[in-house]
Amino acid sequence: MKDRPAFVGFYESNNISPVSQDISDLKRHFQRRESLFRSLGLVPTFVRGIKVLEFGPGSGHNALYTASLLPEQYELVDGNLKGAQETRERLTSFTTSQTKVHHALFDAFQTHTRFDLIWAEGCLPHQNQPLLLLEHVASFAVRGGVLCITTINGISYLSETLRRLFRDRFFHTRGDVHAQAHQLATYLQPHLKNLHGMSRPVEDWILDNIVQPLQDRRLLSIPEVINCLNDKYDMYGSSPRFLTDWRWYKDMTGDNLRFNELALDSYYQNNLNLLDYRFEFSKHTVAFGQKLEDFGSQSWDLMCKIEHGEELAWQDFFTLMQGLCAHIEKLAPVTAEAIREAVILLQSGKPDMKLKQFPYWWGRGQQYVSLIRKSD
């Protein structure tokens, strides 16, 4: 699996596309998508008549909304044949816009067309080399165009990381993936019930986040995105929103408008919010945020080592969690309690241990950011 493309290798070898959304109430689904667009600074009606390129539409559930906004041209790229076919079928009713679904790997996709809006949702984090793919994906926007992508970091994903480690500790990771997901659902479904707003089937979520081998994959954080694209793109919006900029627009002229610098500052003053979706924490210092980011990155690296069979990494992980809990104790005591309980569960050897805190704790797993292309 190591040499197979991320996601695509796992999906194709199991003939799955575990990316469906509950769209039985289409109005509600579209409202969710509209809220996302607004949060990213995109006015839905402005999509009419523009050129849109989407990477990794999965089976096209979210693409349905974008297509409904009637872009002049809408091209989509997905490397999973099942997903590409399902996306094509789902979009057949949108004959007014020029819609084309390409079955291709991201890095192999090329076109001379330049697009006003590039969309890459849920498909750059968890790649082997997300920054290389990010640069490739970002290369297709016109100057002044918008790039929207999702990010995940070790803090926002810590609640998942601990649930993956639960799987590593107590379950076999071989054999039929559906059987694995089914077995895990007994334990994780009650946790997922506490995640308000969840619109994915439980088994899809477990396949994608817990069963999928990720030990050779990387996350992709907001600071990594900003630093990687700094010369070509300016940070524009995000969901959840955390950017503040009190400058007077009349003072904002010249070559260096410092959008990225200010975005990084806002980010590091607020990233504790990524750790627990139940709370809205006040601003903290940049130094606190940078240290937290470091805890998050280390937790992902140690999980990868554990999943590579390095038994000694377990103790390093437990020590790291102790340090993290001490770091956040004052500002986020309830979250620290949930993390401690998860660690006790992993140390206890008893998967059925009664839990009071851990099942309720989820991070703000995936974030969205929008950036505006400033140069070629």
For 82, what's the count of Cα atoms within 13 Å in the CB-facing half-sphere? Answer: 14
Task: Collect all residues with Cβ–Cβ distance below 8 Å to 9 and sequence separation of at least 6.
Answer: 1
Is residue 37 within the footprint of ligand SAM (CB under 6 A)?
no
Site for ligand SAM in 114-173 (CB under 6 A): 121-123
| CA gap 329, 332 in Å, rounded | 5
- Of 359 and 365, CB closest to ligand SAM: 365
Calculate Rg over the CA atoms of the chain.
Answer: 21
Range in contact with ligand SAM (rule: CB under 6 A) among 7-15, 90-98, 293-301, 308-316: 7-15
- The alpha carbon dihedral of 192, 206, 204, 68 has a sign of positive
**Distance in Å, CB of 235 to ligand SAM, minimum:** 21
Q: Which is nearer to ligand SAM, 124 or 264 (CB)?
A: 124
| Nearer residue to ligand SAM within complex by CB, 8 or 52 | 8
Contact flag: residue 303 with ligand SAM (CB under 6 A): no
Please select the residue that binds ligand SAM; options are 80, 99, 239, 271, rule is CB under 6 A.
80
What are phi and psi for residue 181, nearest 5 degrees? -65, -40
Q: Which of 33, 52, 56, 267: binder of ligand SAM (CB under 6 A)?
A: 56
Q: Which x/- pattern, by CB under 6 A, does the window 203-222 give for ligand SAM?
A: -----x--------------
Q: Does 105 bind ligand SAM (CB under 6 A)?
A: yes
Q: Which stretch binds ligand SAM (CB under 6 A): 26-34, 78-86, 317-325, 350-358?
A: 78-86
| Contact predicate 339/329, CB 8 Å | no
- Which residue lies nearer to ligand SAM by CB, 8 or 372? 8
- Residues 54, 83: Cα–Cα separation, whole Å: 13
In angstroms, the first-to-last Cα distance of the chain is: 35
Of residues 11 through 30, those in contact with ligand SAM by CB under 6 A are 11, 19
Should residue 338 be labelled a site residue for ligand SAM when binding is judged by CB under 6 A? no
Q: How far apart are CA 106 and CA 5, in angstroms?
A: 10
The verdict on 58 binding ligand SAM (CB under 6 A) reads yes
Tell me the C-alpha distance between 280 and 269, whole Å: 12
């996709």: which residue's tokens? Answer: 109
Query: Any idea which residue has 């390095």 for tokens?
Result: 310
Q: Give the footprint of ligand SAM on this chain (CB under 6 A).
A: 5-8, 11, 19, 56-58, 62, 78-80, 83, 105-106, 121-123, 208
